[in-house]
Structure formats: C-alpha cells, structure tokens
Structure 1
Amino acid sequence: MSVTRAVQPALEPKVGRRTAATKYAHPVLLLVGIVLVALNMRACLAAVSPMVVEIQRTFGLSATASGLITTVPVLFQGVGAPLTPRLTRRFGTERVVLGAVLALGAGVLLRVLPSVTALYAGCVVIGVAIAVLNVSMPGLVKREFPQKAAAMTGVYSTTMLVGATMAAALSVPLEHALGGGWQASLGAWSVLALVAAVAWLPQVLKARQERTVAVAVKVPTQAAPAALSKEAGTSPWKSGLAWQISVFMGISSLLVYTLVAWMPTILADHGMPRGEAGLVFAFSNLVQVAGAFLVPLLAGRMTRQRGLALVMAALNGAGVLWLLLAPVSGAWFSATVLGLAQGGSLGLGLAFIVLRTDSVLGAARLGGMSQAVGYLVAAAGPVGAGALHQLTGGWDATLLVLLVLAAVAAVAGWGAGRNRTV
C-alpha cells in the first residue's frame, strides 16, 4: 500500500470535503442520494410477499421452496457482507454503492424471467447487492455526518422501511394496472433502482475529485506507520460485544424476514381475504417507519441502550403472541406492535454499529461482521417457517419458535446496549 493511500482516510476531513469537490455534490444531493438508495434496499423484498401465492402457482413450488424466494436474498446478504469492506477500500465507497444499486436493478429484472433458475439467480444477485449496501451505508453516514450519525441512521433506516411499505402496498395494484401478472409488478421496481443510480452519480464525481486533490497533497512519510496501524485495528470477530450486536441483529432480522415472507399467508390461511391481508401487512410496514426513526434518535441520546433493546424484544414477543392467539380479530393490533418492534429493532441494530465504534473503518468492519452473522441467522427464518408449516399443517409451531427467539434477542440486546466500543 502506498503512503498516500495509507493516510488518505485521515486526509478526507481536510481535503476537498467542503472546497473544490462540493461543486460536484451539494450536501442536499448527498441526502437525496442516500434516501433514494435506501428506498431500494427493502422494496424489492417486500414486494414479493403479496405475490408469493401466484409465484408458487406459476412454478408449482412447495411451501418450503416458496420460502426460499425470501431466504435466498437474506442468505446471500450474509455471504456478501464480509467482502464489502475490502471492496470499499479498493474502489471507494461511492463507486461500490453505485455498482450495488445497478446490480440490484439487474437482479430485480432477472428474477421475473420465465424460469425457476432465473427466479433464484435473481434472488442471489439481489441479496449480494443489498449486502454491499447494508455494510457500506452506515460507514458512509458516520463519515459524512460524524456529529449526527445516530439521527441520520434514523433517517436512513426509516427510508428503507418507507420503500418496503410502498412495495407491499403497491404490488397488487401494480399487477392490475400493468396487466402483466406478478412479473410486471415485481419487475417495475427496477425503475426505482435506476433512478437511485442516476441520483448517486454526483457522489462518484465528488469522490473522484477528492482523490485527485489528495494525490496532489504531499504527505510526510512518517505518517504512514500510524495510519497503517490504525487501519490494521482489532478484528471484531474476537469481540464479545460484536457478537452480541450480531446476534441481536440476526434474530431481529429473522423475525422481520419470516413475517415479510409469511404474514399475509398466515392471515389468509386463517380466513382473512387476500386483499385485506396485504393491507394489514402494508400497515405493519408503515408503522415500522415510526420505530425506525424514533428509536435511533433515542439511542443517540443514551449512554446505554439496554432498556431500549429489552423493550424492542418485548414488543416483538407481544406481537407474535397476539398473532398466535387472535390471528384475524387481532391482526391490526399485531401489525401495529410488530411494526413498532421491527422498525425499532432495525434502527437500533444499525445505531449499534455507529455507537459502538470510534472510526469509519471500525464501523465498516463491525457492519460487515454483524450483518454477515445477522443475515445468515435471518436466512433460516422464511424457509424454516415454510418447512414447519409443511410439517405441522399450521402456523402455531412457527409462531412459538419466534416467541422463544424474541427472548434470546432480549439477552443479546442487553449485552449490546453496554456503553463500550468494539
């Protein structure tokens, strides 16, 4: 590694950030870019849930195989997450984000081709692309908004859930409006990815200008060892705190993705009309927005977040319990409680990444680890729920397992909420 590259992260706050490079990327453009990228990160997954039954009929899939439509992207989010810090160091965060958004759009289109192979291949591409964005974005937010990282994490996580809500609510209407079945409805979300990619281009131009300015600055050679030492750092994989954060994120994500995959089906199997089940699911996603925005703000004002983590786990447990006891009559109540819990858990998990690290590189490494572990755990949710349903003929066993996991999340969140850094 050259001396200039070794110290470049240290130079970033001083060089080009608010000078020549700002003519390429006004802070408003940065915020717009972040929002549009975040809108894509859940939309293409949430859009699938109301379409699962139709996809199942088209290809003759079993309940377990249908669960893989949601599981495969989640699994590959876990597989792709550890690779992202290396990609961002090699190519720069801005270019990596642009490539990931374009890949996401391509995966959305691949998924709707008339082939089971293409369906699952598209899910793989989508999963890897989201993994890269999941790990890149918290570090970018920490770097660009160092004094408001927790608040901006709330904006970022809220926007992700707004995208999911839009997708859940619009999937069936888009199917009717476009007249092309589930393929047209799901494929339409590639347009949102293209819009985000165009909006992100100013950030790539800004980063190129900053690199040019940084190369022009003469750096003393004695600065290199300190920079290299800081870059080497301590691996989060050896930290108990990092593992607690990872388990909290993993179980929280498992609860989210299991219900993203199956909540409308659970309600429909208990007699609720399919259209109403989709509305309940969309409402739950809408309520997540409030949790995702408010919880990171609260977390940023606390030195410890143990109580907050316990509340999120308790709300998850209460929502699942009510879904078990009164799936139809209590559907709207369950949707409200689960929405608050799931949105808040997502926001808190992302806030842990910026609050439990003291550098951009540390945030990237913790993000890579926690999201690798987290999404590998979460991947078991949708397919496991489908398999349990197929084995037992009902949803009670699945919901009981989710209750137990909510208790495990409470224990992990209690440890993750300590006032320490990884």
Structure 2
Amino acid sequence: MSVTRTQQPVAIPVVRTRTKLAHPALLLLGIVLVALNMRACLAAVSPMVGEIQRTFGLSSTVSGLITTVPVLFQGVGAPLTPRLTRRFGAERVVLGAVLVLGAGVLLRVLPSVAALYAGCVVIGVAIAVLNVSMPGLVKREFPDRAATMTGAYSTTMLIGATLAAGSSVPLEKAIGGWAGSLGAWSLLALIAALAWLPQVLRSRQERAAVAAAPTGKPIEGIWRSPLAWQISLFMGISSLMVYTLVAWMPTILADHGMDRSEAGLVFAFSNLVQVAGAFLVPLAAGRMTNQRALAVSMAVLNGLGITGLLLAPVSGAWVSAAVLGVAQGGSLGLGLAFIVLRTGSAAGAAQLGGMSQAIGYLVAAVGPVGAGALHQATGGWNLTLVLLLCLAAVVAVAGFGAGRDRTL
C-alpha cells in the first residue's frame, strides 16, 4: 500500500438540496446528541457497580466485568462497521446504532444476571459502530474542518461521561434504585435518534449525491501499513492507560491514605480537565503540518502524571490529576484526529477507524483487569504504575510515527 505526503485538504463536493432537513444546524445538533451517548452509559454504571454487586450477589471479579465487557466488545464490533456503512450508508448505520444502544441500556437493567451482561455486550457493539462511523462522517461532511469537528464531538463525548458519572447517584435516589438510574439513559439515546432522523429522511436525490461523492476506494493492505499500526498503537495504549486509571485511580489515592471523598473529587477534577484537552488538542492538530511534537507531548504528560502518582500520590494528587486530565483528553482527541488527518476520504477514515479502534479497545480492555491482578499479586500499586510509565514511552514512539505528514 502507498503512504503519501499530506497535501492541502481537498473539499469533497457534496451536493445538498435546499431543504430544512439538510440544514447544517440539524446535522451539528445530531452529531452533538449522538456524541453525548457514546460514553454516558459507560460512565453512569461505574458508581452503581457496588449496588449491582449486592443485588445479584456477584463476586468482585465478576462485577468488574460490568465495565470491562463493553470495552472488549467495542474492539470486537469495530471491524464490522466499514462494511455496514458501505452497504447501508453512514446515516442509517448511526441511527440504527443509537437505537440499539438505547435497547442495550434497557436490557442491562432487567432483573437478571444474563440480561445484565447481554446488555453490556449490546452496548459495547453499538458504541463500536458509532466510534468508527463518526470519524468517516465528519471527514465527509466537514473535509476542511475535520480536526476541529473531531475536537468538538470528542469533547461532547467526555461531557456526556462527566454528566453521567456525576448524576448517577442523584438519579438513583430520585428514581428509587440503580436500575431506574441506569435505565434513564435510554431516553438520551431516544432523543439522539429523533435528532438524527432528519439526516436519514433527506431526499433520495441528496442521499445519492452525498453517498456518491465521498466514498473513495478502500485502503489496500491497511493491516500491513506501519502508519496504520502506529495510529492504532497510539490509540490502544493511550486508551489502556485511561481505562486503567478510570477504574483504579480513586482506589490508588485512598490506599495511600487520602480520604475517599477527596479521592473522588480528585478523580472528578481529572475528568473535567479531560474536556479541555479533548477540545484543544485536535484543534491544534488541525493547524499543524505534522503532529509529532503534539503526540509526544501527550505521552510525556501521561508519564509525568503517572510519576506524580508514584512519587507523591497524596500531596501531589491534584497536580497529577490536572496533568493526566490534559494528557488523557488530548490523547483521545488526537487519536480520533489522526483518523481523519491520515486518510483522504470518508471510506478510508471509516476503514482506519475500524482497524485502530478494534486494536485500541481490545488492548484497553486488558488494563483494568491486569492492574487489579497485579495489585492482588503484589499488595500495592507501584508495579502497575511503573508499567504504565513504560507504556507511556511506547505511546511516544507510536505517536511520533503517527504524527508524520503522511496519508494512507
């Protein structure tokens, strides 16, 4: 396969009929509402795991799968999405995935352990489809502003996650149980589906023009491309570090003597800072000829934040949380930006997204479980943090390659 130096982006001529359904504001609203769903139902379950465990009498290991299974199936479902979008079109695939996501949220709260984990599987696959579909759609609809729009929707994803994590317990108290609290997020999926419906209902003529213009040819030999693997490893290992610290950071702080309430606040603060990183880093990436320095900077910041947890877990917690927030949010946004910046068409972006996110989420799923196993084996967190520090160095190498001025 060929890798070429990036040229100035060429706008793809998408012909739009003059209808209210084709208004850009409707498209932007739909993207924002879909993005709000892409992390919310995952973040909402974390504060509820203890209640779910008590309800069904689950062990700690089995209950840990509630958060691991969706991540694992995001990796399993990602490679299937480019084929779906080629056959049915991105608009219909996104609508279907949002509806399936809402159904998975409801399935997860049925009074059955089998339904609980089946819902986790459905949610993971639905999010995988959205994860892969959105970069291609953004590439097609906003060819000259793809990196900026990537920053906007990755930021919205994190805002949705932050709101969900913060409101789960209040919803539980208001509605009267964890099932009602988690099930309520199906309403957000329904709202997003209704907001996205105009994109599916556009005239046949417009859909034909949109579909014909951007598809392009699939990237040949993408699984043999060093650049594609560098992007995939950057996303995968960055995601592993994020999911590991999402699962264990409050526990790490509490085990070193910090009050659990303060540990929760530190963790929430880190998540809040991620929003800024997820918006600003892709915005900067779109203005650069290459993103090597930016990618290495994200890896270095991850390393500094982890070093802070290793050397000064309590006294330096707030500084470490801020540094990790910028690094984790920025790495997410930059990884998604690589998908649109390193490809020349919507079809190529969907294909690279399928590969990179398949690898990324399969790798990421190992993090929380592996960290828990290491903690159980060693009785502490130092080995886990040292290994994360080593992985940050691997991310720097992968990011240096992924940030080159090349396209697949």
Deviation at 1:352, TM superposition (A): 0.5
Deviation at 1:77, TM superposition (A): 0.7
Q: Residues 202 and 57 from structure 1, CA distance in 2 versus in 1: closer, same or farther, beyond 3 angstroms? A: same
- CA deviations on 1:326-366 (whole Å, 9 max, x unpaired) are 33333322221111000000010011011111111111111
The answer for the alignment partner of 1:184 in structure 2 is: 180
The answer for the alignment partner of 1:333 in structure 2 is: 319
Q: Residues 207 and 92 from structure 1, CA distance in 2 versus in 1: closer, same or farther, beyond 3 angstroms? A: farther
Q: Which amino acid aligns with 1:235?
A: G
Residue among 362, 370, 387 paired with 1:401 = 387
The answer for the alignment partner of 2:7 in structure 1 is: none
Q: SS of the counterpart of 1:231?
A: coil
Deviation at 1:57, TM superposition (A): 3.3
Task: State the distance in 1 between where 2:382 and 2:154 align.
Answer: 31
The answer for the alignment partner of 1:114 in structure 2 is: 111
Deviation at 1:208, TM superposition (A): 4.3
Query: Is residue 266 from structure 1 mapped to residue 252 from structure 2 by the alignment?
Result: yes
Deviation at 1:273, TM superposition (A): 4.4
Which stretch has the larger CA shift, 233-242 or 353-362? 233-242
Identity of aligned residues (%): 80
Q: Which amino acid aligns with 1:85?
A: P
The answer to whether the 8 A contact 2:136-2:349 is kept is yes
The answer to whether the 8 A contact 1:251-1:405 is kept is yes
Q: SS of the counterpart of 2:61?
A: helix
Deviation at 1:258, TM superposition (A): 1.5
Q: Which amino acid aligns with 1:55?
A: I
- Structure 2, unaligned runs of 5 or more: 1-11
The answer for the alignment partner of 1:355 in structure 2 is: 341
Deviation at 1:213, TM superposition (A): 6.9
Query: Is residue 140 from structure 1 mapped to residue 137 from structure 2 by the alignment?
Result: yes
Residue among 74, 84, 92 paired with 2:89 = 92
The answer for the alignment partner of 2:172 in structure 1 is: 175
Deviation at 1:31, TM superposition (A): 0.4
Q: SS of the counterpart of 1:37?
A: helix
The answer for the alignment partner of 2:233 in structure 1 is: 247
Query: Is residue 283 from structure 1 mapped to residue 266 from structure 2 by the alignment?
Result: no
Q: Residues 191 and 326 from structure 1, CA distance in 2 versus in 1: closer, same or farther, beyond 3 angstroms? A: farther
Q: Which amino acid aligns with 2:383?
A: A
The answer to whether the 8 A contact 1:323-1:331 is kept is yes
Q: Which amino acid aligns with 1:194?
A: L
TM-score (norm 2): 0.91
The answer to whether the 8 A contact 1:76-1:127 is kept is yes
The answer for the alignment partner of 2:9 in structure 1 is: none
The answer for the alignment partner of 2:150 in structure 1 is: 153
Task: State the distance in 1 between where 2:46 and 2:403 align.
Answer: 32
Query: Is residue 205 from structure 1 mapped to residue 188 from structure 2 by the alignment?
Result: no
The answer for the alignment partner of 2:3 in structure 1 is: none
Deviation at 1:297, TM superposition (A): 1.0
Q: Which amino acid aligns with 2:99?
A: L
The answer for the alignment partner of 1:125 in structure 2 is: 122
Deviation at 1:108, TM superposition (A): 1.4
> How many equivalent pairs are there?
398
The answer to whether the 8 A contact 2:218-2:351 is kept is no
Deviation at 1:400, TM superposition (A): 2.1
Q: Which amino acid aligns with 2:36?
A: L
The answer to whether the 8 A contact 1:77-1:131 is kept is yes
Q: Residues 208 and 382 from structure 1, CA distance in 2 versus in 1: closer, same or farther, beyond 3 angstroms? A: farther
TM-score (norm 1): 0.88
- CA deviations on 1:59-83 (whole Å, 9 max, x unpaired) are 3444433332222111111111110
Which stretch has the larger CA shift, 339-348 or 393-402? 393-402
Q: Residues 95 and 396 from structure 1, CA distance in 2 versus in 1: closer, same or farther, beyond 3 angstroms? A: same
The answer to whether the 8 A contact 1:142-1:149 is kept is yes
Query: Is residue 28 from structure 1 mapped to residue 25 from structure 2 by the alignment?
Result: yes
Task: State the distance in 2 between where 1:199 and 1:174 align.
Answer: 24
Q: Which amino acid aligns with 2:305?
A: G
Q: Residues 270 and 159 from structure 1, CA distance in 2 versus in 1: closer, same or farther, beyond 3 angstroms? A: same
Which stretch has the larger CA shift, 137-146 or 268-277? 268-277
Task: State the distance in 1 between where 2:117 and 2:203 align.
Answer: 34
Task: State the distance in 2 between where 1:401 and 1:414 align.
Answer: 20
- CA deviations on 1:250-296 (whole Å, 9 max, x unpaired) are 01111111222222333344444444433322221111111011101
Residue among 71, 95, 112 paired with 1:74 = 71
Q: Residues 134 and 338 from structure 1, CA distance in 2 versus in 1: closer, same or farther, beyond 3 angstroms? A: same
